[in-house]
């Protein structure tokens, strides 16, 4: 196989159904996505069975749309890359089984992709000049991790959450404030109304390690609300429904998470002095305040900053196709026994 490879990427690890076509020569040719946010908003979160059913219904049309808008035919595709870990079992099976069936019928190579690796390299979809080595902060609903990235497909996990992820903190506190799903977006909007000020000074991490912990922050916010007679633990009801109070909690939470990110990244820069840039990826990287905090840190330390645009922050087929393209160039194909891992 030559280096001009055309890859179909398929992503169904959680609640998104997405496909994309990436060409080694021309870059991203198409990207199609079906979002389930309206469906899960009613439940206030993702129910695995409810996520997999619509994916079964939508995946064929999403893949067809990605191929059609790319200007390519099925026969032009060299490789099919598909997320096989981590994620919801039912959702992963939808994507993997579709990819396997298509690859078998059309005699294509297949590559299983860890969708966290997809996030790590998602900034490259739009930015080709990101230098190595660099730090990558991956923050989403289920993951908060820090990587030292040496090259395409070559990276080291140097910090991870010991309990809850930053996105989980956003979503849990948003639920207690009776804000709509997804919680992170609602928190960001409210915090902006009070100029992202730190009203309640929630506890910051002091440990000199690169690992994260947000479970304690969730608890601290909860008991601070109880202390202020704003939340009833017995009934699990919000007592203070004033929008100003909600905005103050949201803003204080966001500033605390921003301080945590800056603290950990500053420590990482002191430990890894050859780092030339920082990338910020995953769903939480859509948050403009957090992005600005990390950009300021980069400017302070003379590092360049990169982040994907919003459409490539959440789970998407484009990042899977991108990883598939460089894995295919290295001849790193998967066997037909490829399976899912939650």
Asked if residue 107 lies in contact with residue 312, where contact means CB atoms within 8 angstroms, the answer is: no
pLDDT band for position 342 (50/70/90)?
Answer: confident
Residues 71 and 92 in one domain: yes
Q: Is residue 334 one of the residues assigned to a domain?
A: no
Which whole number is the average pLDDT over 144-173? Answer: 96
Residues 300 and 258 in one domain: yes
Q: Is residue 80 one of the residues assigned to a domain?
A: yes
Q: Is residue 93 one of the residues assigned to a domain?
A: yes
Which whole number is the average pLDDT over 310-317? Answer: 96
Mean pLDDT of the chain: 94
Q: Which two tokens stand for residue 29?
A: 């040719």
**Cα within 13 Å of Cα(174), Cβ side:** 24
Residues 110 and 187 in one domain: no
CB atoms within 10 A of CB 99: 29
> Which of 72, 31, 6, 24 lies closest to 319, judged by CA?
31
Q: In whole angstroms, what is the distance from residue 67 CA to residue 58 CA? A: 15
Q: Is residue 44 one of the residues assigned to a domain?
A: yes
Q: Which two tokens stand for residue 19?
A: 């496909």
Residues 322 and 289 in one domain: no
pLDDT band for position 44 (50/70/90)?
Answer: low
Q: Is residue 63 one of the residues assigned to a domain?
A: yes
Q: Which two tokens stand for residue 327?
A: 């894995």
Residues 119 and 145 in one domain: no
Q: The domain that contains 56 carries what CATH number?
A: 3.30.420.40
What is the three-state SS of 130-159? Answer: CCCCEEEEEECCCCEEEEEEEECCEEEEEE
| pLDDT above 80 (res 215) | yes
- Give me the pLDDT at residue 268, please: 98
> Which of 107, 296, 273, 272 lies closest to 196, judged by CA?
296
| pLDDT above 90 (res 15) | no
Q: In whole angstroms, what is the distance from residue 249 CA to residue 228 CA? A: 11
pLDDT band for position 207 (50/70/90)?
Answer: confident
Q: Which two tokens stand for residue 111?
A: 């590559």
Report pLDDT digits (tens) over 233-277: 999 999 999 999 999 999 999 999 999 999 999 999 999 999 999
φ, ψ of residue 69 to 5 degrees: the values are: -75, -15
Q: In whole angstroms, what is the distance from residue 305 CA to residue 269 CA? A: 13
Q: Is residue 339 one of the residues assigned to a domain?
A: no
Q: In whole angstroms, what is the distance from residue 219 CA to residue 256 CA? A: 13
Residues 85 and 145 in one domain: no
Report pLDDT digits (tens) over 97-131: 999 999 999 999 999 999 999 999 999 999 999 99
Write down the residue that tokens 């950990």 correspond to: 264
> Which of 26, 142, 138, 10 lies closest to 79, judged by CA?
10
Residues 23 and 119 in one domain: yes
Asked if residue 285 lies in contact with residue 126, where contact means CB atoms within 8 angstroms, the answer is: no
Residues 136 and 83 in one domain: no
Q: In whole angstroms, what is the distance from residue 185 CA to residue 171 CA? A: 9
- β strands within 196-298, DSSP E: 231-232, 237-238, 277-281
> Which of 273, 251, 269 lies closest to 261, judged by CA?
269
- Give me the pLDDT at residue 52, please: 83
What is the extent of the structural domain holding 185? 130-307
Residues 113 and 141 in one domain: no
- Would you say the C-alpha torsion 217, 218, 224, 228 has a positive or negative sign? positive
- Give me the pLDDT at residue 107, please: 96
Bridge pairing between strands 304-306 and 27-34: unpaired
Q: Which two tokens stand for residue 20?
A: 């994309």
Residues 110 and 138 in one domain: no
**Which range among 23-37, 296-310, 312-326 shows the weakest confidence by mean pLDDT?**
23-37
Residues 69 and 212 in one domain: no
Q: Is residue 337 one of the residues assigned to a domain?
A: no
- Give me the pLDDT at residue 41, please: 63
pLDDT band for position 1 (50/70/90)?
Answer: very low
φ, ψ of residue 229 to 5 degrees: the values are: 55, 35
Share of the chain above pLDDT 90, in %: 88
Instruction: Report the number of distinct structural domains present in the chain.
Output: 2
Residues 114 and 48 in one domain: yes
- Give me the pLDDT at residue 35, please: 85
């Amino acid at each position: 196989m030559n280096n001009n490879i055309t890859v179909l990427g398929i992503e169904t690890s959680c609640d998104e159904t997405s496909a994309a076509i990436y060409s080694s020569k021309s870059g991203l040719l198409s990207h199609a996505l079906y979002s389930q946010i309206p469906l899960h908003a009613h439940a206030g979160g993702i129910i695995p069975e409810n996520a997999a059913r619509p994916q079964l219904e939508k995946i064929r049309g999403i893949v067809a749309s990605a191929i059609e808008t790319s200007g390519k035919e099925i026969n032009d595709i060299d490789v099919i890359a598909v997320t096989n870990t981590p994620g919801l079992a039912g959702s992963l099976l939808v994507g993997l089984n579709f990819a396997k069936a298509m690859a078998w019928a059309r005699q294509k190579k297949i590559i299983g992709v860890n969708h966290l690796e997809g996030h790590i390299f998602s900034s490259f979809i739009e930015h080709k000049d990101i230098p190595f080595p660099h730090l990558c902060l991956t923050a989403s609903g289920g993951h908060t991790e820090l990587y030292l990235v040496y090259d395409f497909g070559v990276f080291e996990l140097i910090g991870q959450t010991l309990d809850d992820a930053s996105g989980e903190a956003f979503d849990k506190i948003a639920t207690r404030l009776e804000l709509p799903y997804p919680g992170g977006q609602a928190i960001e909007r409210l915090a902006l109304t009070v100029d992202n000020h730190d009203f309640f000074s929630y506890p910051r991490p002091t440990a000199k390690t690169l690992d994260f912990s947000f479970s304690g922050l969730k608890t601290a916010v909860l008991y601070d609300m109880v202390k202020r007679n704003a939340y009833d633990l017995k009934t699990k009801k919000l007592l203070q429904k004033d929008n100003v109070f909600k905005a103050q909690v949201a803003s204080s939470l966001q500033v605390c998470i921003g301080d945590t990110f800056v603290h950990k990244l500053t420590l990482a820069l002191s430990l890894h002095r050859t780092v030339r840039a920082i990338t910020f990826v995953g769903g939480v990287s859509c948050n403009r305040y957090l992005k600005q905090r990390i950009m300021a840190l980069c400017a302070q330390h003379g590092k360049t900053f990169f982040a994907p645009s919003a459409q490539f922050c959440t789970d998407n087929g484009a990042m899977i196709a991108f990883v598939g393209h460089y894995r295919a160039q290295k001849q790193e194909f998967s066997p037909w026994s490829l399976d899912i891992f939650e």
